[in-house]
Chains A and B, each alone.
Chain A
């Protein structure tokens, strides 16, 4: 396994190098299949690792010393256990399907090779993040995925909106990075280790629930919040939809945004030891899930609805890991990767079919023209809404069950999660009905074409995953990492399951009523709930708030520094030195009279001075001692 692990890393890196250096020279087919093939190859290696991990193997291998100064020693080491195996399987598996899809989706784009290069670089960075065995390399991978996110959001860089969105994402990510780095500082200061084995061994040296460990966990959380777009660092994710749809699928749905969840899960020993921080994680997760779901009900851009849906589902994952249900959180991560990627890719097909129009009110009557897309999207919607027997039902249910069955305040979070599940069903089916159009809506004469097989086959595979994924025994697979999950009695199990199914059905019914059967009711309710609707539609005005509080003062400060400090203080200091030199030079020039006699005077004066010094040094003056 110690060879397989680096191989998993190196194949996407090789793909990146080939496409970055030679992409413009190679024919399109080669570029596309090199890009996708490298990820596919990585997936095969990941499968081999998986088979070994199933047999109980683990890896914590150091390959070379990267940085050493004094007792600060950072090797390049990789850590493979059940958790990282799950991650790499999802990343390479779903990533491979998305890359194959992109071969068709991006075929008309002029930046084709650049796209695949960036995507491969992203997969490499993400794999580095999850396979890293110490905090330093994790942060390096963290920064790498942030960079690729920036590059890919701003892929169509001639568009101002895309560039601004990329910048916004990057700035928020950097805030998170600062938190991560400070956490690393604290860890090293207190425990003098940065690799996971050492760290996990020494955590218990710190006082449980003390300031230090809580601070570390909260700082790590800042990084996780930024990367996973949870409150309060969530505003960048909807704007990130400016990037091409495969980017949204891979980075902003299946993998990068889940890095925060992975971080908390990996550091679970730390979070177990700092209950306050863990509670913060759970609360933020639950609140964000609800918050995002409410916004999703009022949006009209198909990708934005899916973005808020992602934000909401990740909130579920954070809730899970916050209350200690790590296996539930990771299970939901896996199923979410399946159905969210599916939803995004299918949405991509629809967007292409409607000539890049993303407004769902302009769409409709899709079933005839794009049958495969239609049915797979429906499967995805059913899964995310938690309909029984679909994957989403199992994973979401586990989280809600864990929350409701726990003691104390977690119960309320569980209740919130339950309500959010209903909202999820509602807005997803609202999207489905409006965009995909039940047959009796949208009498449209537009001739819509289904997408290429290279685009539809991956979606079908993902749809299969969205259905059967719920039966994969993730919990038992992850037992070596997290310990046994808490068991609930059969009665409670069935009761809670029924409850969540009922909630989902309510959401579905509401959506059916308002958007399929009686659209005029929807309009009426919108005017009734006018102010609430506006509030939700404008995302609770948080973007505007941040603009007022952070952006404008920041710009004003920058302008001040540029116009006042720079010319006056900094340039002023430099100019003052020059002016002073000139001034002194001008005065010294007066000495150069060119007249012999003044020179002679000065010379004689100097001679007198020398004499005086000699006399002084010899220690007497003529009029003191006798002649």
Chain B
């Protein structure tokens, strides 16, 4: 298990760097797809089977496909040079490193806190992962679900409107 985790973690890191670093946007997109698949495996390891499926179907399967299509549409070869203009990238890197260090330090010394809930893997397995999450969505998390559906509606309307706009 630990070995498996180590491999997947390495895969994650490499592909993440790939998303950031490649010059051609198509390569960035493909790296991101790979990253998401690795993440799905991690979800499986964490006993979140539903999330595993959702990640592959929705995220890697729909969102990334959209990305790839758009990149293919918009002349994937041309890209501005990676040479950054201005000095902001230094700030970005510095901030990022600081951020990471702080996060790490926090993690290492604080340990785990949080209230332990009732849903141990055995309990979930007894009812089935999808069923459990389904019940939770429609009882405890009903309000967020409804709000999210409104959000999707708004996004759909917005996308249609934007696509229909005539460019001058």
Contact = CB atoms under 8 A, between A and B. Distances in A.
A/B touching: CB–CB < 8 A: yes
Interface of A: 597-598, 600-601, 604-605, 607-608, 611-612, 614-615, 618, 620-623, 625-627
B102 A604 contact: no
Nearest to B96: A604
A597 B88 contact: yes
A621 B95 CA distance: 17
A607 B91 contact: no
**6 closest residue pairs by CB, A with B:** A622-B105, A611-B102, A604-B95, A627-B108, A625-B109, A597-B88
Contacts of B92: 597, 600-601, 604
Contacts of B88: 597-598, 601
B106 A601 contact: no
A604 to B, nearest CB: 5
Contacts of A620: 109
A597 B88 CA distance: 8
A597 to B, nearest CB: 5
Nearest to B104: A622
A173 B162 CA distance: 80
Contacts of B105: 615, 621-623, 627
B136 interface: no
Contacts of B99: 604, 607-608, 611
Nearest to B84: A597
| Residue of B88, B99, B105, B110 with most chain A CB atoms under a 10 A cut-off | B105
A620 B110 CA distance: 10
Interface residues of B, number: 16
Given A611-B106, A627-B109, A601 B98 contact: no
B147 interface: no
A218 to B, nearest CB: 80
A27 B168 CA distance: 81
Nearest to A605: B95
B102 A622 contact: yes
Contact of B106 (A600, A605, A615, A623): A615
Given A601-B95, A604-B95, A618 B102 contact: no
Given A598-B88, A601-B95, A621-B105, 12 more contacts: A597-B88, A601-B91, A604-B92, A604-B95, A607-B99, A611-B99, A612-B102, A615-B106, A618-B110, A620-B109, A622-B104, A627-B109
Residue of B91, B92, B102 most packed against chain A (CB within 10 A) = B102
A410 to B, nearest CB: 99
Interface in B70-106: 88, 91-92, 95-96, 98-99, 101-106
A420 B105 CA distance: 108
Nearest to A618: B110
A622 B101 contact: yes
A9 B105 CA distance: 93
Contacts of A605: 95
A598 B88 CA distance: 8
A601 to B, nearest CB: 6
B108 to A, nearest CB: 5
Contacts of A627: 105, 108-109
A604 B102 CA distance: 13
A289 B88 CA distance: 95
Contacts of A625: 109
B90 to A, nearest CB: 10
B112 to A, nearest CB: 14
Nearest to A620: B109
Given A597-B88, A622-B101, A608 B106 contact: no
Contacts of B98: 608
B110 to A, nearest CB: 7
26 contacts: A600-B92, A601-B92, A601-B95, A604-B96, A604-B99, A607-B99, A608-B95, A608-B99, A611-B99, A611-B102, A614-B106, A615-B102, A615-B105, A615-B106, A618-B110, A620-B109, A621-B105, A622-B101, A622-B102, A622-B104, A622-B105, A622-B106, A622-B108, A623-B105, A625-B109, A627-B105
A337 B106 CA distance: 102
A605 B99 CA distance: 9
A598 B103 CA distance: 23
B100 to A, nearest CB: 10
Nearest to A623: B105
A602 to B, nearest CB: 10
A80 B109 CA distance: 96
Nearest to B106: A615
A437 B103 CA distance: 118
A608 B102 contact: yes
A607 B108 CA distance: 19
Nearest to B99: A608
A625 B107 CA distance: 13
A627 to B, nearest CB: 5
A618 B88 CA distance: 31
Which residue, B91, B106, B109, has most C-beta atoms of chain A within 10 A? B109
A611 B95 contact: no
A83 to B, nearest CB: 87
A615 B108 CA distance: 12
Interface string B105-129: 1101110000000000000000000
